[in-house]
């Protein structure tokens, strides 16, 4: 069981807390708890929470983490939960320098959780909510049976990315009541034209006008799309429209809530890890490190920042981009004058001594996510300095090679991997496809084709919830294709786009 901090670590926590506040970090109350490496692996397998709903995948993830630690392949330094108060775990076997590093890193995360706009709508009592979810699922297990519930969770987890990750910040659909009132105001039935007002009641009796209104209403219902506009939140559409059993709807709602809770962490992985790494580096090197801890700290910090060709390390990319922003705004390397300067010698020596870097990174921390962060602040100079190229694997040489050095292609490759977590954008476009109560989804093609095996399994799992055939409109070789699963077999047919 997690234990409270011993006096020495409690003193170090107060010290690191003071440094974090001194540098201007603003975070929720943060509680640290001590755990063994085995307990750390258990909590990590649960996604950082002490309690989750029963499911076999937690055990699988625990085994993977435990073996990685035992074989020396991986080690979890810290776990922190976006909650109010925040909860973080320290491994009791870590040396003191690691504990200080982790505490500083945690305070960076907690500041980001509290202040970044992406987390503004998240549940700040998620520890309690996760425990409630676990209780609800266990009740259904007792009532329905473990195999039936686990099978449903398996199918639903394969669909958990079919949400609208931007839904908490925008309203895609108009207010239903307001839209209905406007529609009624525009649908006045006036009957035949009359030359004399006193003849109106004879030419357009109330019974005739009522029948005409009914005709208009019937036509409107026949023409009405279902849903009226494409819906990104497929799970919400299933919750509202699919013929689910009460226990299925409850579990689907639970998994959807959790998907929305974790979505901002995926949207800000580079920023968040970079921000926490920036502050643990700043606090440790400027305040907390002792002389005899420098070598150990440098060794562990460099291990976290290690990067291999063909992969992005969010810790490394994030911390370096934060430092670059700070330096650029300290030296005034932004704006029209900077952009129009084409003298390389002048650009290298450019320093207006503005000193606005720290203020700028706090502003960026509040208003950006990974996509806008990379799109706005990634520069050709930064990409070259950090060796950001488009890599590919050469099968003949059995090695990674640089395929392209052009900055635009490098940036687009990064942004493509971040958009919708690098996964295809799928929308519900028709809940009564071809007037047969079939579900039609559409793939918003962005140059990447759907993987056939993934698409077929997704259709199979969607059909098990919709109970009717499910279709998806996509594109292969610039030709429209509808993939279909009817509960028995898969089929496809070409269509005009």
Tokens of 305: 């920042």
Tokens of 330: 């300290």
Q: In the chain, pLDDT over 70 holds for what percent of residues?
A: 91
Tokens of 491: 């089929």
pLDDT of 180 higher than 60 = no
Beta strands in 306-448 (DSSP E): 390-394, 399-404, 425-433, 438-444
Give phi and psi for 395, each to the nearest 5.
-65, -35
Count CB-CB contacts under 10 A for residue 246: 8
Global pTM exceeds 0.95:
no
The domain spans of the chain are: 5-125+266-298, 308-403, 423-492
pLDDT at 208: 67
Among candidates 234, 401, 283, 225, which has minimal Cα distance to 24? Answer: 283
Instruction: Determine contact, residues 431/466, Cβ cutoff 8 Å.
Output: no
Say how far apart CA 127 and CA 467 lie, in whole Å.
34
Say how far apart CA 149 and CA 406 lie, in whole Å.
50
Among candidates 450, 490, 494, 496, which has minimal Cα distance to 470? Answer: 490
Read off the pLDDT band of 186 (50, 70, 90): very low
Helix pair 269-283, 294-305: axis angle to 10 deg: 170
Give phi and psi for 249, each to the nearest 5.
-65, -40
pLDDT single digits (tens) 484-497: 999 999 999 999 87
Give Dmax over CA atoms of the chain in angstroms. 103
More confident residue, 181 or 217: 217
More confident residue, 93 or 112: 112
Report helix, strand or coil for 254. helix
Beta strands in 335-424 (DSSP E): 390-394, 399-404
pLDDT at 177: 58
Among candidates 486, 456, 482, which has minimal Cα distance to 470? Answer: 486
Say how far apart CA 67 and CA 115 lie, in whole Å.
36
pLDDT single digits (tens) 342-381: 998 999 999 999 999 999 999 999 999 999 999 999 999 9
């Amino acid at each position: 069981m997690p234990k409270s901090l011993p006096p020495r670590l409690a003193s170090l926590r107060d010290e690191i807390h003071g440094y974090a506040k001194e540098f201007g970090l603003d975070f929720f109350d943060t509680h640290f708890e001590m755990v063994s490496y085995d307990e750390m692996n258990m909590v990590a397998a649960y996604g950082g929470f002490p309690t989750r709903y029963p499911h076999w995948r937690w055990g699988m993830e625990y085994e993977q983490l435990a073996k990685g630690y035992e074989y020396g392949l991986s080690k979890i330094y810290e776990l922190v939960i976006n909650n109010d108060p925040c909860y973080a775990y320290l491994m009791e076997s870590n040396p003191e320098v690691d504990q200080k590093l982790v505490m500083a890193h945690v305070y960076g995360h907690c500041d980001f959780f509290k202040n970044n706009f992406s987390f503004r709508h998240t549940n700040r009592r998620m520890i309690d909510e996760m425990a409630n979810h676990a209780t609800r699922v266990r009740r259904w297990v007792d009532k329905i049976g473990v195999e039936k519930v686990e099978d449903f969770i398996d199918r639903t987890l394969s669909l958990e990315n079919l949400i609208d990750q931007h839904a908490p910040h925008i309203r895609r659909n108009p207010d239903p009541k307001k839209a209905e009132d406007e529609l009624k105001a525009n649908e006045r039935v006036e009957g035949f034209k009359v030359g004399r007002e006193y003849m109106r009641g004879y030419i357009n009796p109330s019974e005739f006008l009522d029948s005409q209104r009914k005709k208009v209403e019937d036509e409107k219902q026949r023409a009405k799309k279902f849903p009226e506009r494409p819906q990104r939140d497929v799970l919400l559409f299933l919750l509202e429209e699919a013929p689910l059993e009460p226990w299925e709807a409850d579990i689907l709602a639970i998994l959807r809530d959790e998907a929305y809770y974790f979505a901002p962490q995926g949207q800000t992985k580079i920023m968040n890890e970079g921000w926490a790494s920036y502050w643990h580096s700043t606090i440790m090197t400027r305040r907390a490190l002792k002389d005899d801890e420098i070598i150990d700290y440098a060794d562990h910090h460099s291990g976290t920042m290690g990067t291999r060709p063909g992969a992005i390390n969010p810790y490394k990319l994030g911390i370096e981009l934060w430092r670059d922003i700070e330096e650029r705004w300290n030296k005034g390397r932004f704006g029209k004058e900077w952009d129009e300067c084409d003298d390389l010698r002048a650009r290298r020596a450019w320093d207006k001594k503005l000193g606005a870097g720290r203020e700028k990174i706090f502003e960026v921390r509040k208003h950006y996510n990974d996509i806008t962060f990379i799109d706005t602040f990634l520069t050709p100079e930064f990409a070259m300095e950090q060796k950001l190229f488009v890599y590919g694997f050469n099968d003949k040489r059995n090695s990674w090679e640089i395929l392209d050095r052009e900055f635009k292609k490098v940036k687009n490759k990064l942004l493509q991997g971040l958009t919708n977590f690098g996964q295809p954008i799928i929308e519900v476009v028709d809940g009564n496809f071809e007037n047969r109560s079939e579900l039609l989804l559409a793939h918003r093609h962005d140059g990447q084709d759907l993987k056939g095996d993934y698409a077929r399994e997704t259709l199979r799992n969607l059909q098990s919830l919709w109970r009717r055939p499910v279709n998806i409109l996509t594109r292969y070789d610039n030709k429209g294709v509808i993939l279909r699963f009817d509960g028995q077999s898969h089929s496809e047919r070409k269509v005009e786009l």
